[in-house]
Chain A
Amino acid sequence: MAALGRAALLLSFGLVVYALVAGSVAAWKRRRRLAASAQNALIAAFGTTVVAAAVLWTALARHDFSFVYVAQHTSRTLPLGYRLAAFWSGQEGSLLLWLLILTGYSALAVWLHRFTRDLMAWVVPVLAGVSTFFVFMLVFVSSPFMSAPAPADGAGMVPSLQNPYMLAHPPMLYLGYVGLTIPFAFAMGALLSRRTDERWIVMTRRWTLAAWTFLGVGQLLGAHWAYVEIGWGGYYAWDPVENAALMPWLAATAFLHSVMIQEKRGMLKVWNMVLVALAFCLSIFGTFLTRSGVISSIHSFSQSPLGAWFLGFIAICVVFSVGLIYLRLPLLRSRTKLESLVSREATFLYNNLLLVALCLTILWGVMYPLVTQAVRGETRSVSKPYYDFFLHTFGLPLLLLMGIGPLVAWRRASLRALGRTFIVPAVAAVVTGVALIVLGYGSSTPGLLAYTFGAFVAASIVLEFVRGTRARRSLSGGSWPGALAELVARNRRRYGGYIVHASILMLAIGVAGSSAYQTVRERGLRPGQSMEIAGYTLTYERLQQRQEANAIATRAVVDVSRGGSHVTTLYPGKNSYPVEQQVSNEVSIYHDPRNLGDLFTIADQIDPKSQTLFLKVLVKPLVNVLWAAGFVFVFGSLVTLWPDAVEQRRLAARYAADTVAA
């Protein structure tokens, strides 16, 4: 069936090239039927890509080792879930997933906006252009449908990928990465069609937010995966590929904020175009980093010939978007100006500058090995202190701004009004800071600042809800819960945004607690021996071994007690994978409800002969607040994404002239 996969991809290639060429000609020459035909080609490309994907999934499920890809990434003992997830564990499959999501998104966008006149005609060739690159790679450079005589068994999957998170983390990230193509295509379509009004923003608002949410959730899932699987006791290592997902997310965060200024004040049109192009280019750059292997990363599984192609494509995207923005500059000039440096829009601007600064310093850190290799002929890289410095320099003010922004009025705010709105959050921050110092948590300045600023943000969010509910109740009466529900329903973007802010605050609390205030101890133990850490006593009892589906599991039995009372039993150990001939660390964690933290154990070394265990133990306070933030983040995003019927009717009336009859 590999031939069917190859044929389906070849058809996808023909269809997206047709959509690119016919779509461009139709938009240029204003040909209606040709434009509709190009739209259909893009939708059909999704259909043919689905067939290609189905062929690969079927081969993975059926152990069809005549597919080189299946033989390289699975084995007979690999459970079905991981076999299906092997679709995105290798380079060729990942590219196919990119294409599947891209053509799926494109088909949906084209179908949803098929009656829109000006804009869609130019959006189609842009989407087709991006798709062309990915199908070209799959057809001519890196095909998942190469076939060879089938070996008796496959090479298996890298052990660290054999984790339930493998099923969700990569697709979630790809949904985010690829999703950023849609706002990019609409922005470029708007420039090409000279439609620099807000139409493209209205059409892509939910697309951008959904992509941003997927990217955020994908990163959090990846962090949790690293935490429970990699076995080093952390969740974010400033690895180039982790950074590659963070950068477009930061750029998209900046865009989501600055686009509100364009909607409310008609300002920052050029800046928004730049941000949307930056977010897209960074998403391609992220894929390049993951797949090219040019920079050493735990995610780059092999060197590949893709690097040069991706660099070329990124260069084309940058030149195309910068050139187009430059050509359309006269149309993008704003008629309004910033009225005051103390206003909501000014805080959004500061937020944007800090986000982009953080994004670019991370980009510089990621690029540094390539730059030093090119300039000095030797590869040098920056490490954690570099990133931590800039995270503290830009991240802490960002955290504070998250609390300040909602308290400041649009257009201008007087000092008297500011004093009134700031008093409660400022008191909350000062009290928290002093209390932490008194309780002995002043050892980490960034940690202390994070909690002090966090208290400010928490108070400002609570105040916003309280003041808003009170105002709503005074207008329409009713109960407090009713007024709160009405408040959120009438302005989902604002209050959904505050819920997302609350999740970012929880994230900051979790990160600060688990990194600035963590305790680490390591000791060699023989059966019966104990070690102490942060009030816990850990007693190593014995080793045990069991056969799992595709691995031999060795576990140390460790009893945990506190104040003489048994708390739990932990089983840190190692898995040995005979097919892959690799060994992985399997950590064991106790979630402590008292401090919302974890007691994290790693069996660094196990000597089965002498039964000696080198146990590394970390106590990470508040780390579970970080994971809980993910749920709040999704909830806030859903509130923001939820359609508002009144607004949709108003927008439909506004753009009625822009819509053709079915």
Chain B
Amino acid sequence: MTLALALAAVLAVAAVAFVARPFLREPAPASDRLGELSELERRRIELEEERDRALAALKELEFDHRTGKISDGDYRELVGPLRRRAAETLQALELRAGTGHERISSGR
């Protein structure tokens, strides 16, 4: 019983120390703010998802066409809008990257 209680006490101390570790490591941090994505960053992630989706769809379309699942007519009809969509998202991402660079440059 005594051994069990001693082990339980050791366990409790270890657990509390581990839980308190972030506060013990940084008793007075410069900032305790939990980072979160800005609206710009969220929009960029959405655009990257959109770009990857469009590029994957193009790849899939090429493969389906090659394996005979898509007729030539359907392929011609579908490939145009998909390429446009991919180009648009790539352009939008480049534009954002450019704006970001400009901001960094002007900030220096």
Are B45 and A197 touching (Cβ within 8 A)? yes
Q: Mark A167-204, 1 if CB is under 8 A from B, else 0.
A: 00000000000000000000000000101011100000
- State whether A32 and B34 are in contact (beta carbons under 8 Å apart), knowing that A15-B19, A40-B21 are contacts in the complex: yes
Return the chain A residue nearest B73 by Cβ. A414
Q: Is A117 within 8 A of B36, CB to CB?
A: yes
Residues in chain A near residue B34, CB distance under 8 A: 26-27, 30-32, 35, 117, 121
CB-CB < 8 A to A410: which residues of B? 57, 60-61, 64
Contact string, A467-504, partner B, CB cutoff 8 A, digits 1/0? 11011001100000000000000000000000000000
Chain B binding surface SS class: helix
Give Cα distance in the complex from A50 to B68, angstroms. Answer: 55
User: At the interface, yes or no: B84 with Cβ under 8 Å from chain A?
Assistant: no
Q: How large is the interface on A (under 10, 10 to 19, 20 to 34, 35 or more residues)?
A: 35 or more
On whether the beta carbons of A37 and B22 are closer than 8 Å, the reply is yes
Query: Is there a chain A Cβ closer than 8 Å to B42's Cβ?
Result: yes
**Judging by beta carbons under 8 Å apart, are B37 and A263 in contact?**
no
Taken residue by residue from 64 to 102, chain B's Cβ proximity to chain A (1 for < 8 Å, 0 otherwise) reads as 101111110110001000000000000000000000000
Check: A1 CB closer than 8 A to any chain B CB: yes
Which stretch from A3-11, A246-254, A538-546, A567-575 is at the chain B interface?
A3-11
Q: How near does chain A come to B68, taking the closest CB pair, in angstroms? A: 6
Closest residue of chain A to B66 (Cβ to Cβ) is: A471
Residues of chain A contacted by B68 (CB below 8 angstroms): 417, 420-421, 467
When each residue 40-51 of chain B gets 1 if its CB lies under 8 Å from chain A and 0 otherwise, what string results? 011011101110
Query: Would A33 and B41 be within 8 Å (CB), given that A11-B15, A266-B53, A660-B35 are in contact?
Result: no
Given B26, B42, B69, which contacts A421 in the complex, CB threshold below 8 Å?
A: B69
Chain A nearest CB: distance from B105 CB in Å?
A: 19
Question: Can you name the residue of chain B whose Cβ is closest to the Cβ of A474?
Answer: B66
Interface positions of A from 394 to 448, Cβ below 8 Å from B: 407-414, 416-417, 420-421
Q: Which residue from chain B places its CB closest to the CB of A464 in the assembled complex? A: B67
Interface size class of B (residues with CB under 8 A): 35 or more
CB atoms of B69 and A408 under 8 A apart? yes
**A263, B64: Cβ atoms under 8 Å?**
no
A416 and B71 form a contact (CB under 8 A): yes
Given known contacts A36-B22, A410-B60, A11 and B36 CB-to-CB distance under 8 angstroms: no
User: Which interface residue of B12, B15, B32, B60 has the most chain A CB atoms within 10 A?
Assistant: B15
Per-residue contact bits, chain A 18-54, to B (CB 8 Å; 1 contact, 0 not): 1000000011001111111100110110011001000
- Give the contacting residue for A31; candidates B18, B32, B44, B64; CB below 8 A: B32
Q: List 27 A-B contacts (CB under 8 A).
A: A7-B11, A7-B12, A8-B11, A15-B19, A37-B21, A40-B18, A41-B15, A44-B18, A44-B19, A48-B15, A118-B37, A121-B34, A197-B42, A197-B46, A199-B45, A265-B53, A407-B69, A410-B60, A414-B71, A421-B68, A421-B69, A467-B67, A471-B63, A654-B48, A657-B44, A657-B45, A658-B45
List residues of A whose CB falls within 8 A of some B CB.
1-4, 7-8, 11, 15, 18, 26-27, 30-37, 40-41, 43-44, 47-48, 51, 117-118, 121, 193, 195, 197-199, 263-266, 407-414, 416-417, 420-421, 467-468, 470-471, 474-475, 650, 654-655, 657-658, 660
Closest 4 CB pairs of A and B: A7-B8, A36-B22, A4-B4, A467-B67
